[in-house]
Structure 1
């Protein structure tokens, strides 16, 4: 994106892989919930999240040891205009689908147009910025853009490629779970049972196994995902040996419950994998499309009522740090205190759209750690009164028309830890006269309701990278707020957010890019949209002793496809 790629021409492999890793073995991991689709590129259905990354390929591939540099995968060469107003890809010769048929330019062009028009909403924004897609040679495709957006030349190379002929008789957006997309990826779906498991097998005839991007990767013979009703059942399955890898998210559990016989014998190993990527945001998101969360004062009151210090001690032994902003734990994180320099210059462009704290400085409320949290609750009560809420004779908070302050927290089945957090939060809200409830639904209902923005508050987790760009429009852009199924679950419609995303995309230097992102981080954080939970700046993975990973870690650490991509099985 800026300057030269980290890896020079002719590189032999990614810098964090073991090029001598043996092939074989299996990785079996668990998931809570269920699934009713195997196509993550459709708008409908609930899909195992891993499929999007392990079962599909794109023209370009990532090096997770640099913020944003792309290298040829299906594409052999890339040419682009100095201003990146167009980009042209030359496909590698010999690329084949898993059924042995050759990939063609027609397949690629069909994939782009299909995903960009009737695919998942995540693809629609980039496609709308393509003025023209054309075949310019036997293996060449050129994209010309209709907007000044330098990142598009990179983003357009990251779309999954599908086989056109497979959908000749079945419309892409209507294909059910029995239609397993045929792709060029190293793994193919071998077997599955809806809602129970998915098994992928390594394609022995995979066309790209000797590419620099692929050496030392995709080592396991089988990747298997088992689905369970809740986290406790899944953990028992791991202890019993049904799973051979398990990611832990609770620091207290990591220190206390991993003492079962397999760990004591050394058959199960506990690995801690740090990273240098942003925290992203994890917590309870408020739907600001409707009252009462359309008022920032109410949202700040929720922040004050959420007693993180007490919850952290009760559920995690106080081990985990809190997320302090959307890009915390990275160089892109907002500086606490008044804005200065280029960050202030960017913010000043959008003064009319800023909330208190964006320029002067803002920190999340901190309690004294006691369960009562009196000081913060008094501040919350004052803000609620200022917003028009008063306590009635029965102790319940009501608005000017006498309607009670009540809302529901929507959770997916299996979210036991989040439900525990929510239960404590609800008790604290009761002292303010607020009636909150928790509704737990299965994965299909959860997807249906969140796609339709049918919730008051819900669990929310959004990872962000060291190279934020166009995807930020999908996460928090005004246009996405009204698009059902979009990632803007909160409903943010802010001129400051939209403008700063544009500033990030138009940055002419790394300094401008960092300053614009820090400014965006301030605006998102002071929006009081999500009540943040813990910051995971290290991954805790318990795994079979035969599963190994490289000693050199990428800056992104355990990110997206790190496991199982660069792991291997060693007898």
Structure 2
């Protein structure tokens, strides 16, 4: 984007600019347009940490430096560019190598503190935000991080990068350099979250990528300003990161107690069983156990018995998010809400949870369950009802009146649920003919359940397949013909990016401060945009309206009401058959690896927690 000059509107300043333009240039700014430089920015209210704080409250500021951590990842990778749609990228590049202007704390719903940016200024109505870079900020090759690097990164990501960057960029009316180390974003829409999002884009080195096909995948190691550099790469098998001893930001308050390990290594495995065996053998030093039943039953192997590894449970206060089987409404088979409700009725969560997990998981009751943002039981009231009222005629039953998932049965055959499912399918035009569920034209109810053979972030491949197997057996009682297809990670990513599935396993983590990303998850434009997270293909004017209200909210009460309204639309939309979740993370780890156990952040085991806050104790 061409840099635009911001000239003062007063006649006097115009004259001065004309006379001394060579001196003022892009740095000339109206005194009235300036705001107070801030050390941090919160979505609502003020940052919890004062200016001049010494360290984040959830770190060990005196953590020893050095050591190594080895982590396991499923599948493989063929790219080192996690910012583009093409390729299967090693995602950790974006965690350890590159940085953003601001750092998002894990202990507040949505608050940023300066990282590459020394300070931030924002308009009272958040119609613009301005960042001033730290003069000492450097890339790992020693070159300075400049305004030109930031502006090139934002424009390139917004136009050629992954679709997740496009939405916010489309709302930027103007990006301009306002000084040697400062730049300003002016927004085209009333969206208070945009000022925050502009602080969270990765800053890349312009000279490395300019003139190349940025949208292409590739194995060129990125040059970043972060605490680590890419050390060794064995595509598809292993990648290691080595701490940069000359890292420019090691003494910043936001970094004190973070990035303690010298080496971070990720090994890639074919499936979760191989990953777990590698942990038991000591080849991997941290293992995140997703099954509460296995956590209680299967951790008596020698590594634990000798005390060389220990178990830890890390609580959190974040929403459950959504996890389960998503139905692709682009397929006419799942376009009718009555059919989707029938599919939910046939999913006997109670029996599945008892059988596979000893009944230990909690049911996901809505997308923002386990938080104050969750929809409340019963009819919508107050501001929530007001937001939904204009769309009442088009909302599925239960959105306004109240919606709850079926209770299920402790037996494999949930007769009451199947009876309700049959009634709903009949209303939708489906009847059983010679044991097969068919429509009026005689076409069978047949579909594919697509699964990743490498598993997911929250479920192993064996668990998702076991869930799907039990579910398919139940569907046969309805005369449905469902088949399960297992794909390797690369094929699964390609097919889901292109929405080439009928039903698949779906996971979306949600924060305590949802905002613009919700349009990428549930917006109408995203439904037709390859690579978006709107896998269900929903197109809901009501959802888009409440998301707009959410990002424009000026008070926490209005924001909460908007999220609760969205939660109702999503849950009663019946797009996902919810599974269960755990309010704690279960991590087994080498005994010499430590984390600040007494000061667990609000988000718990969340991106930015492990390995960033961990350290290794030296041998005694």
TM-score (normalised: structure 2) = 0.91
Counterpart among 65, 72, 76 of residue 23 in structure 1: 65
Counterpart among 605, 610, 616 of residue 558 in structure 1: 605
1: distance between equivalents of 2:487 and 2:207?
37
In the alignment of these two chains, the number of paired residues is 569
> Alignment RMSD, CA only?
1.0
| 1:510-557 Cα shifts (integer Å, max 9, x gaps) | 111111111111110001111111112100000000111112011101
2: distance between equivalents of 1:278 and 1:144?
32
Query: Per-residue deviation at 1:175?
Result: 4.6
Counterpart among 196, 201, 223 of residue 264 in structure 2: 223
Structure 2 counterpart SS, 1:516 = helix
> Which has the greater radius of gyration?
2
1: distance between equivalents of 2:210 and 2:382?
56
Alignment partner of 1:118 is 2:147:
no
Counterpart among 217, 229, 246 of residue 188 in structure 1: 229
| 1:70-103 Cα shifts (integer Å, max 9, x gaps) | 1110011111111111111110001111111111
Alignment partner of 1:61 is 2:103:
yes
Q: 1:436-475, aligned counterparts within 5 Å?
A: 436-475=482-521
Structure 2 partner of 1:331 = 372
Q: 1:28-47, aligned counterparts within 5 Å?
A: 28-47=70-89
Q: 1:67-78, aligned counterparts within 5 Å?
A: 67-78=109-120
Higher mean C-alpha displacement, 461-470 vs 44-53? 44-53
| 1:239-267 Cα shifts (integer Å, max 9, x gaps) | 01110000011110011111101111111
Structure 1: unaligned runs, 5 residues or longer: none
Alignment partner of 1:105 is 2:152:
no
Equivalent pair of 1:353/1:494 in contact (CA under 8 Å): no
Alignment partner of 1:210 is 2:251:
yes
Q: 1:368-517, aligned counterparts within 5 Å?
A: 368-393=409-434, 395-414=435-454, 415-517=461-563
2: distance between equivalents of 1:2 and 1:514?
12
Structure 2 partner of 1:137 = 179
| 1:185-235 Cα shifts (integer Å, max 9, x gaps) | 111111111111111111111100111110000011111111111111111
2: distance between equivalents of 1:312 and 1:50?
32
Equivalent pair of 2:87/2:217 in contact (CA under 8 Å): no
Equivalent pair of 1:409/1:457 in contact (CA under 8 Å): yes
Equivalent pair of 1:35/1:443 in contact (CA under 8 Å): no
Alignment partner of 1:293 is 2:344:
no
Structure 2 counterpart SS, 1:241 = coil
Structure 2 partner of 1:167 = 209
Structure 2 partner of 1:155 = 197
| 1:345-374 Cα shifts (integer Å, max 9, x gaps) | 222132133111111111111112100111
Query: Per-residue deviation at 1:479?
Result: 1.1
Query: Per-residue deviation at 1:303?
Result: 0.5
Counterpart among 580, 585, 592 of residue 534 in structure 1: 580
Structure 2: unaligned runs, 5 residues or longer: 1-42, 455-460
TM-score (normalised: structure 1) = 0.98
1: distance between equivalents of 2:353 and 2:58?
34
2: distance between equivalents of 1:366 and 1:189?
49
| 1:87-124 Cα shifts (integer Å, max 9, x gaps) | 11110001111111111111111100100000000000
Structure 1 counterpart SS, 2:258 = coil
| 1:50-73 Cα shifts (integer Å, max 9, x gaps) | 333233210011111111111110
Equivalent pair of 2:97/2:223 in contact (CA under 8 Å): no
1: distance between equivalents of 2:68 and 2:357?
32
1: distance between equivalents of 2:218 and 2:169?
24
2: distance between equivalents of 1:56 and 1:353?
45
Structure 1 partner of 2:130 = 88
2: distance between equivalents of 1:388 and 1:15?
58
1: distance between equivalents of 2:452 and 2:88?
12
2: distance between equivalents of 1:51 and 1:399?
49
1: distance between equivalents of 2:94 and 2:519?
20
Structure 2 counterpart SS, 1:512 = helix
Structure 2 partner of 1:353 = 394
CA gap of 1:110–1:340, structure 2 versus 1, over 3 A, is same
Equivalent pair of 2:97/2:222 in contact (CA under 8 Å): no
Equivalent pair of 1:62/1:69 in contact (CA under 8 Å): yes
Structure 1 counterpart SS, 2:479 = coil
1: distance between equivalents of 2:346 and 2:330?
21
Query: Per-residue deviation at 1:169?
Result: 4.6
1: distance between equivalents of 2:315 and 2:91?
22
Structure 1 partner of 2:407 = 366
Equivalent pair of 2:313/2:585 in contact (CA under 8 Å): yes
Equivalent pair of 1:34/1:442 in contact (CA under 8 Å): no
Structure 1 partner of 2:3 = none
1: distance between equivalents of 2:92 and 2:419?
44
